[in-house]
């Protein structure tokens, strides 16, 4: 086991995949400056700085992917993906289908998201469900350094466009990563904690919040199961349904706003396929339908907190 | 009479085939048998001139007026018609329609209907040529409408900075959907924009296939020699409307008439007749071959079945 941060885990995955496959390369706004180790090891043709122009970065990745490379692009902050929406959604996501399967788009788009740095709404916006809603794409949003490394490796090897969202607040968080860690398959959730009374489903930073809430609930004799989705598309429906069948209660927690968010999908999934198991209404704890504030206390209030999760579970348990 | 590397009689026949293909499509649409389409009528010379200067190693990205580029590349008109009619034997199994036909076997990576979309992807295709050490350049066709998009500037800039082997071909047809170019840009053309980005350029009579071939050949030589991108601006005109059917009620009649007199097929044919290289019999023979090709193409597309409904959700993921 090695202890490393999420940022280092991403770099480690990049280094291993670039070593393994000469068609893997990375470019983006400052990647050659910030990932100097990669630049020194793999050279300036495979690690490139770009202009601050997200559209052409993503488009270049799509064109390169269609014709033999496996590009990884760093678009910095998730809201910047607005500038790259056409290239990611209309090109990378659709052109395989439109071409009748003639071309594939093995590319990875990296972006930071979420509260924690007080960077304000134009740098902090959880936009993952936009892309979950777009065909042809896969979406990954891990919570631990080991998962970042393993899922990045899978994302790079995948023949489809994969978006990897890195929660800003997790960037410098450290965790154990097995030395021999290999690719973690996309579309497999992790059960972070086993429990019998309620299922807490989350992803990214709020997985930790759910774990804290589960500790508190355990003190009150309530046994919460915590599921970390890791991949939002493909979604591990079986893991969710299996857990709800066992516990009969579900709280979905994420920082993105509620309307048409991932939580809505999971609630609908459980209503369709596990309704008979439910002993209480499904609850969602999410960020508000508001742009993210810069002010630290407001930004923290934006994100679902452990005490709110505890209160939600208590209400489901009948007070 | 000097011998031109592009046989003008063959060029004329190819241009006439493109015209006949698009007229067939318009007719099929009028009879409710094919979806509407964006034609390249009036732009055949640029397509045939530039594509004839490419080699089999070169790749093509184009835009919604792509029939000329595809047919100039040797695409089968039957498979193209089948694609537009949503049939199984179309180049993309009927999933693309007329607006996004790609044909990997012909090196046509993309037909983009998002104006400027081809410019965004072209840099990546150029990058892969460079990184993988493959021969061949990338030809990217777009219009003056795309040249007023930010992606034009972004694409040329990155291609120049990274020295990517891209031949940018702006078919300046004076129209941006339903808006005349003069309403949206003050400059007379877009070649001047390239200079500011460090990209060499040339402006060519886009209605003369031989001039287009010569200019494209020189540009491709320059790209191979220097590794740097090059912009070719073809001054031409969109003789039909934006999207069929379109009555062109918004078009200035004098301007339209001026350009109709410069119809590239008419001009080349007149020139070849004047030079004694084609007579009425020769023209009749070409017309007859083109008609037979389109009749066979239509029969092929008609006979092709629609895709099975299971195709609805195939090819979404690799």
- Domains of chain B, residue spans: 14-300
Cα-to-chain-centroid distance, residue A45: 29
Q: Which structure tokens are listed for B84?
A: 């537009």
What are the φ and ψ backbone dihedral angles of A76, each rounded to 5 degrees? 65, -95
| Cα angle B242, B248, B254; round to 5 | 120
User: And the tokens for B293?
Assistant: 């090709």
Write out chain B residues lying below 8 Å of A24, CB-based. none
Mean pLDDT across B32-47: 93
Q: Which residue has the tokens 């991403």?
A: A10
Report CA Rg, chain A: 19
Interface predicted TM-score of the whole assembly (ipTM), two decimals: 0.95
Up-side HSE of residue A151: CA atoms within 13 Å toward CB? 31
d(CA B14, CA B29): 23
Q: Which of A17, A29, A87, A123 is catalytic?
A: A123
Neighbours of B158 (CB within 10 A): 28
Partner-chain contact A51 B132, CB within 8 Å = no
Query: What does the pLDDT read at residue B2?
Result: 57
The topology under which CATH files domain B14-300 is: Rossmann fold (3.40.50)
Tell me the nearest-neighbour CA distance from A238 into chain B, angstroms: 21
Number of A:B CB contacts under 8 A?
Answer: 147
Tokens of A186: 């996309």
Contact B124 A67 (CB under 8 A): yes
Please check the confidence at residue B93 and state whether its pLDDT lies above 80. Answer: yes
Mutate to test the interface with B, among A80, A93, A98, A158 (most CBs of B within 10 A): A98
The shortest CB-CB distance from A63 to any of B90, B102, B123 is to B123
Q: Please tell me whether the peptide bond between A268 and the residue prior to it is cis, using omega within 30 degrees of 0.
A: no
With an 8 Å Cβ cutoff, are B95 and A99 in contact? yes
Which region among A102-106, B14-18, B92-96, B244-248 has the lowest average model confidence (pLDDT)?
B244-248
pLDDT at A149: 97
Structure tokens at B176: 């941006």
Strand order in the sheet with B138-143: B108-112, B59-63, B138-143, B166-172, B230-235, B200-205
In this prediction, residues B101-118 reach a mean pLDDT of: 93
Residue of B nearest to A95 (CA): B110
Question: Among residues A16, A17, A54, A299, which one is catalytic?
Answer: A54
How far apart, in whole angstroms, are the C-alpha atoms of residue A26 and residue A39? Answer: 10
Residue among A56, A64, A104 minimizing CB distance to B151? A56
**Contact state of B104 with A102 under an 8 Å Cβ cutoff:** yes
B95 neighbourhood in chain A, CB within 8 Å: 97-100
pLDDT surpassing 90 at residue B111: no
Buried b (16+ CB within 10 A) or exposed e, B293-305: bbeebbebbeebe
Nearest to B120 among A69, A87, A103 (CB): A87
For B316, which of A60, A67, A97 is closest by C-beta distance? Answer: A97
Residues 6+ apart with CB under 8 A from B74: B106
Using a CB-CB cut-off of 8 Å, the residues of chain B touching A60 are 120-121, 123-124, 127, 158
Locate the chain B residue with the closest alpha carbon to A64: B124
Q: Do A60 and B61 touch (CB under 8 A)?
A: no
A125 flagged as catalytic: no
What is the rounded distance in angstroms from the CA atom of residue B134 to the CA atom of residue B128?
A: 8
Alpha carbon of B190: minimum distance to chain A alpha carbons (Å)? 19
Q: Which residues on chain B are in Cβ contact (under 8 Å) with A161?
A: none
What's the whole-number average pLDDT of chain B?
Answer: 95
pLDDT of residue B194: 96
Query: Is A71's CB within 8 Å of B93's CB?
Result: no
Q: Do B114 and A90 touch (CB under 8 A)?
A: yes
How distant is the Cα of A242 from the closest Cα of chain B, in angstroms?
A: 26
Confirm if B151 and B122 have CB atoms less than 8 A apart: no
Chain B interface disruption, residue of A85, A97, A138, A156, most B CBs within 10 A: A97
Give the mutation candidate from B79, B120, B153 for the A interface (greatest A CB count, under 10 A). B120
DSSP string across chain A: -EEEEHHHHHHHHHHHHHHH-TTEEEEETTHHHH-HHHHHHH-TTTEEE--S-HHHHHHHHHHHHHTT-EEEEEEEEGGGGGGGHIIIIIIITTHHHHTTTS-----EEEEEESSSS---TTT----HHHHHTSTT-EEE---SHHHHHHHHHHHHH-SS-EEEEEEGGGTT-EEEE-TT--PPPTT--EEEE--SSEEEEE-THHHHHHHHHHHHHHHTT--EEEEE--EEES--HHHHHHHHHHHS-EEEEEEEESTT-HHHHHHHHHHHHSGGG-SS--EEEEE-SSPPPSSHHHHHHHS--HHHHHHHHHHHTT-
Cβ proximity of A28 and A164 under 8 Å: no
How many Cβ atoms sit within 10 Å of the Cβ of residue A290?
A: 10
Nearest to A45 among B95, B103, B131 (CB): B131
How distant is the Cα of A43 from the closest Cα of chain B, in angstroms? 12
* Inter-residue contact A54 to A75 (CB < 8 Å): yes
Is B7 buried (19+), middle (13-18) or exposed (0-12) by CB count in 10 A?
middle
**Backbone phi, then psi, for B166, in 5-degree steps?**
-120, 130
Of residues B32 and B2, more confidently modeled: B32
Q: Please name each of the domains of chain A with its CATH number.
A: 2-177 (3.40.50.970), 190-317 (3.40.50.920)
Please tell me the distance from the alpha carbon of residue A307 to that of residue B96, in angstroms, as a whole number: 51
d(CA A147, CA A175): 10
Residues of chain A with pLDDT under 50: none
**Angle, helices B8-30/B44-52, rounded to nearest 10 degrees:** 130
Chain B residue closest in CA terms to A50: B158
Residue A319 pLDDT: 62
Residue A314: predicted pLDDT: 97
Those residues whose C-beta lies under 8 Å from the C-beta of residue A286, and which sit 6 or more positions away, are A252, A253, A254, A255, A256, A257, A258, A261, A263, A304
Over residues B63-91, mean pLDDT? 96
Q: From CA B96, how far away is CA A100, in angstroms rounded?
A: 8
pTM: 0.96
Our CA-based measurement puts residue B54 at a distance from the nearest CA of chain A, in whole angstroms, of 18
């Amino acid at each position: 086991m090695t202890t490393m941060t999420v940022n280092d885990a991403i770099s480690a995955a990049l280094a291993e995949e670039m070593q393994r496959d000469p068609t893997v390369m990375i470019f983006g706004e400052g990647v050659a400056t910030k990932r100097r180790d990669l630049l020194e090891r793999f050279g300036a043709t495979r690690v490139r700085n770009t202009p601050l122009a997200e559209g052409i970065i993503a488009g270049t990745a799509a064109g390169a992917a269609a014709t033999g490379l496996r590009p990884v692009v760093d678009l910095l902050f998730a809201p910047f993906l607005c500038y790259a929406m056409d290239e990611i959604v209309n090109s990378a996501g659709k052109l395989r289908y439109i071409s009748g399967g003639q071309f594939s788009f093995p590319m990875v788009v990296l972006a930071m998201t979420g509260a924690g740095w007080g960077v304000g709404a134009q740098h902090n916006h959880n936009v993952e469900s936009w892309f979950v809603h777009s065909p042809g794409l896969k979406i990954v949003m891990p919570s631990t350094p080991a998962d970042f490394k393993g899922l990045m490796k899978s994302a790079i090897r995948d023949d489809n466009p994969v978006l990897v969202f890195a929660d800003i607040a997790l960037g410098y968080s450290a965790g154990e990563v097995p030395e021999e860690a290999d690719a973690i398959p996309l579309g497999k959730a992790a059960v972070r904690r086993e429990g019998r009374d309620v299922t807490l489903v989350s992803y990214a930073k709020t997985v930790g919040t759910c774990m804290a809430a589960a500790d508190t609930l355990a003190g009150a004799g309530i046994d919460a199961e915590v599921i970390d989705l890791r991949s939002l598309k493909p979604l591990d429906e079986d893991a969710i349904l299996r857990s709800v069948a066992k516990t009969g209660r579900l709280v979905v927690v994420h920082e993105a706003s509620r309307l048409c968010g991932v939580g809505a999908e999971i609630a609908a999934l459980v209503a369709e396929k596990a309704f008979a198991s439910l002993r209480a209404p499904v609850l969602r704890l999410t960020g508000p339908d508001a742009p993210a504030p810069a002010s630290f206390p407001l930004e923290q209030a934006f994100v679902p907190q452990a005490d709110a999760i505890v209160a939600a579970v208590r209400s489901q348990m009948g007070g | 009479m000097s011998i031109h590397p592009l046989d003008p009689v063959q060029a004329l026949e190819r241009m006439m085939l493109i015209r006949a293909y698009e007229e067939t499509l318009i007719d099929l649409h009028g009879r409710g048998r094919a979806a509407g389409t964006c034609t390249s009528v009036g732009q055949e010379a640029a397509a045939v001139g530039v594509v004839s200067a490419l080699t089999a190693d070169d790749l093509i990205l184009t835009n919604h007026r792509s029939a000329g580029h595809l047919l100039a590349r040797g695409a089968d008109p039957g498979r193209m018609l089948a694609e537009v009619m949503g049939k199984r034997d179309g180049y993309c199994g009927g999933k693309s329609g007329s607006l996004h036909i790609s044909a990997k076997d012909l090196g046509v990576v993309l037909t983009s209907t998002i104006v400027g979309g081809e410019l965004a992807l072209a840099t990546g295709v150029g990058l892969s040529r460079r990184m993988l050490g493959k021969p061949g350049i990338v030809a990217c066709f777009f219009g003056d409408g795309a040249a007023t998009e930010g992606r034009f500037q972004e694409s040329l800039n990155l291609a120049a900075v990274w020295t990517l082997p891209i031949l940018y071909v702006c078919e300046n047809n004076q129209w941006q959907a339903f808006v005349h170019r003069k309403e949206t840009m003050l400059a007379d053309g877009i070649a001047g924009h390239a200079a500011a980005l460090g990209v060499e350029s040339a402006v060519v009579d886009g209605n003369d296939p031989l001039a287009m071939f010569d200019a494209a050949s020189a540009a491709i030589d320059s790209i191979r020699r220097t590794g740097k991108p090059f912009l070719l601006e073809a001054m031409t005109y969109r003789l039909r409307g934006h999207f069929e059917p379109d009555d062109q009620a918004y078009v200035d009649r004098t301007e339209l008439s001026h350009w109709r007199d410069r119809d590239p097929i008419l001009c080349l044919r007149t020139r070849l007749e004047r030079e004694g290289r084609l007579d009425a019999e020769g023209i009749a023979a070409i017309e007859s071959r083109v008609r037979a090709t389109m009749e066979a193409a239509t029969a092929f597309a008609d006979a092709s079945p629609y895709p099975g409904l299971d195709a609805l959700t195939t090819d979404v993921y690799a």
